Amino acid sequence: MSHIYIRLDFGTDEEKAQLARHKLDGWKQAFRLDKKLLYKLDRPESPAAEAAAKPEAVEKPAPAAKSKAKTKDKSGEASVEKSGPAANGKVGLLVRLYFSTHEKLSEQRWVARIPSEEPFKSACPKVILQADPEFEKADQQFESLD
């Protein structure tokens, strides 16, 4: 069994990335592609952005003494978390198609369908086959993402 990666770069458009993720989830359920279609969001963050986001979250809970202050701190932390990934702005999606050898036709159809659909078309889709030189890099990146 071989797998194929499709790398999608949404740039700073978080909404399109979430729309694409939602569409992939719908396809997984509708076509029963549980293990055959996997994806992971890729938000490359710089160490400076992570360091800037963590101290703000640490400073806010310290003055919390009352339950009302705690709820305000929780909402403050949520806004920090939302702005953290958006600080860098880049959002990518790495899709792995994993079909067995007797499912070549299904594999070809999905490789053709995903880049041609709307939220994926605008994300500069790049299909990475097993014979491509950057396949190993994509494979390692997919395994390292959460």
Number of folded domains in the chain?
Answer: 2
pTM tops 0.75: no
Rounded Cα distance between 37 and 28, Å, is 7
**98 and 135 assigned to the same domain:** yes
The amino acid that residue 132 corresponds to is D
Phi, psi of 42 (to 5 degrees): -120, 110
Mind listing the pLDDT tens digit for each residue in 39-82?
999 988 754 444 444 444 444 444 444 444 444 444 444 433 44
Mind listing the pLDDT tens digit for each residue in 122-145?
999 999 999 999 999 999 999 999
Nearest to 9 by CA among 36, 37, 39, 41: 41
CATH number of the domain where residue 102 is located:
3.30.70.920
The amino acid that residue 74 corresponds to is K
Q: Which domain holds residue 30?
A: 2-44+90-144
